[in-house]
Amino acid sequence: MVVMLNACCQKGVVRSARICEIGSTRCRATSAGTGKTLGIFKRHLGFGLARKDSQKTQPKKIGADEFKLRRDKVVDLAWSEPDAKFEQLLLCVPSSRTYYMARDIPYVFRQNANFRYLSGIMEPDSLLLLHSDSKEHYRSVLFLPDADQEHKKWHGPSLAQDEVEFSSGITEVHPVSYLEEFLQDLLSQSKGLQLGVFCDPSRSWLTNAYSHDSSPATFSVLEDCVMQRPKNWTTVTSLNQHIQEARVIKSQTEADVMRYASSIAAMAFKKAMTDTEAGMNERQLWAMIDYECVFNGAERLAFPPVVASGPRAATIHYIKNSEVIMNGQMVLVDAGCEVEGYCSDMSRTWPVDTSFSNPQRILYEIVQHVQARILRNIENLGSDYGSYPSLNDLYGKMLDLLTEELYREGLFGQFVDKKKAKDMVTRTYCGHHLSHYVGMDVHDCHLISRGRKLEQGMAFTVEPGLYISSEDTLFPEEFRGTGIRIEDIVWLSSDGPENFTQHLCPSEVSDIVCLRRHRNFLNPIV
């Protein structure tokens, strides 16, 4: 539930006892600036008490039962491989490695999404093997780094077996030094049987599983097993397609985590929208969003954010975030945070001044109207998932709507017909897709076609944009050097579509203007 100031204060004056209503929720604003009134504003706009409230709504962690169901699903999918002629399966899923930016200085660790999806384990340099000797049975075997006393002194103890079993449901846990013996036993037991092996066909999973330099003998066994391939190992192929088939459909628990991550990001965005001032550096807004997300419960930002002011916003993935924000500009921010391995992703664009200039407003409302119409179309489909379009269908709709809106405003001029105008929108003025799947990776499940019809459980973005470079020669000069993107996440629940972010952070012109005009009231100098 979010309340924001509405357009009733169009001249920037908050009248006494003015009631602003959005949806079914009200906030009372007075010009007195009392502590009580300020508390109301802070609570409704995502500051102060909202932080305590957000902790109460933190979703439950994904447990061992769900990890077991995921492994079941992936094994079933692997057995359903077209034209499969194998009699046993071996699925190999490596963790992420520890990488170093300099001697003894590691990069911040992020677990491999597939490994985390199937196990929940956060240890680096580990390996999960799923060995199935029939369609009705398989065993999960986890290999963790050997931890001697020196390692414990510097990095702490490794996970104990009971911790692994409690969190992931995996009962067979070994040090990675046992991997050589395990594979030799497997080769012996599977002699004469056709064994389907699913792993990365490259060597990357081998080096993830074990260091070549520290244990050449073990690496040699892995090399023999996978790269040279014993005769009865009939299939060596990637497991990614099968895991992504499972990951693209989000459970209720996954959706709860993503909703929570989205609420945290929305809170951070509102703080940034409120506190933006001319003279700030873009990296200061980046730092503000990062701080607000982590303070309110996120593990980290989900990706390097776009914080683009003025003409830099016309660069779709501008991430230098190093320039000074100036009056008369707009700021485009594309950011999200990560909670329990799941990402949020949203974009907003707002003026540095207390209102949009007329050219800014015209372009912004074009993008906002396009997004609103697409979201409304999705909402109208409800839970009738047999009639849902694909993401590519929605993208085609966006191109039509953007062209229609730009044409209606006369921005293409009288010498550009609609067909040519749509080509220009596609190639120049919105060079990205409308949507991507979202989940454990912000651009999730890239192997799942965007031409596939949307299904219950999928989560995806709706993010139309409009980008007009400073060098553009078609649009009038006052429209050039502008970039606008509005992005929200939609999850297709059993009851129909749910928008995780739209109603938590303003995207309409009137609401953004009121938020910007009252920033001094909401953040008084004490």
User: Which pairing describes strands 330-335 and 346-351: parallel, antiparallel, or unpaired?
Assistant: antiparallel
354 and 479 inside one domain: yes
Q: Is residue 54 part of a domain?
A: no
Asked if residues 43 and 55 have their Cβ atoms less than 8 Å apart, the reply is: no
Q: What is the pLDDT of residue 322?
A: 98
Pairing mode, strands 342-343 and 306-309 = unpaired
Tell me the backbone φ, ψ of residue 284, rounded to 5 degrees: -70, -40
Asked if residue 138 and residue 81 are part of one domain, the reply reads: yes
Domain limit, last residue, from 213, 246, 279: 246
pLDDT tens for each residue of 98-139: 889 999 899 999 999 999 999 999 999 899 999 999 999 999
Whether residue 109 is found in the same domain as residue 138? yes
Number of structural domains (the chain) is 3
Domain of 15 in residue numbering reads as: 1-45
Q: Find where tokens 């200039």 sit.
A: 357
CB 178 within 8 A of CB 209: no
- Does residue 235 share a domain with residue 91? yes
**465 in a structural domain:** yes
Asked if 256 and 230 sit in the same domain, the reply is: no
Q: Are residues 22 and 156 in the same domain?
A: no
Q: Are residues 242 and 365 in the same domain?
A: no
Residue 364 is assigned to a structural domain of this protein: yes
468, two tokens: 């007009």
What is the Cα–Cα distance from 136 to 198, expressed in whole angstroms?
18
Contact 131, 239 (CB under 8 A): no
**Is 57 within the bounds of a domain?**
no
Note whether 150 and 242 are same-domain residues.
yes
Residue 521 lies in a domain: no
Last residue of a domain, one of 246, 274, 309: 246
What is the predicted pLDDT for the residue at 201?
55
Write phi, then psi, for 43 (nearest 5 degrees): -65, -45
Same domain membership, residue 122 and residue 207:
yes
* Residues 304 and 386 placed together within one structural domain of the fold: yes
Distance, in Å, from the CA atom of 31 to the CA atom of 13, rounded to the nearest integer, reads 8
Contact assessment for residue 178 and residue 143, using Cβ atoms and an 8 Å cutoff: yes
In a domain, 53, yes or no: no
- 326 belongs to a structural domain: yes
Q: Does residue 159 belong to any structural domain of this protein?
A: yes
Q: What's the CATH code of the domain at 478?
A: 3.90.230.10
Secondary structure of residue 365 in the 3-state scheme: helix
Instruction: Give the Cα separation of 218 and 511 in Å (integer).
Output: 62
Residue after which a domain boundary falls, among 229, 246, 263: 246
Q: At what angle do helices 391-408 and 358-381 cross, to 10 degrees?
A: 140
**Residue among 41, 53, 20, 67 nearest 253 (CA):** 67
SS3 content of the chain, % helix, strand, coil (to 5): 40, 20, 40
pLDDT at residue 234, as a whole number: 60
Q: Are both 298 and 279 inside the same structural domain? A: yes
Amino acid at 50: A
Closest CA to 401 of 428, 378, 434, 356: 434
Whether residue 176 is found in the same domain as residue 265: no
Nearest alpha-carbon partner for 490 in 377, 396, 326: 377
Of 474, 359, 467, 466, nearest in space to 416 by CA: 474
Regions in the chain scoring below 50 on pLDDT: 1-56, 208-221, 521-526
Using DSSP's 3-state secondary structure scheme, residue 222 falls into helix
> What is the per-residue pLDDT for 141?
96
Model-level pTM?
0.85
d(CA 375, CA 489): 10
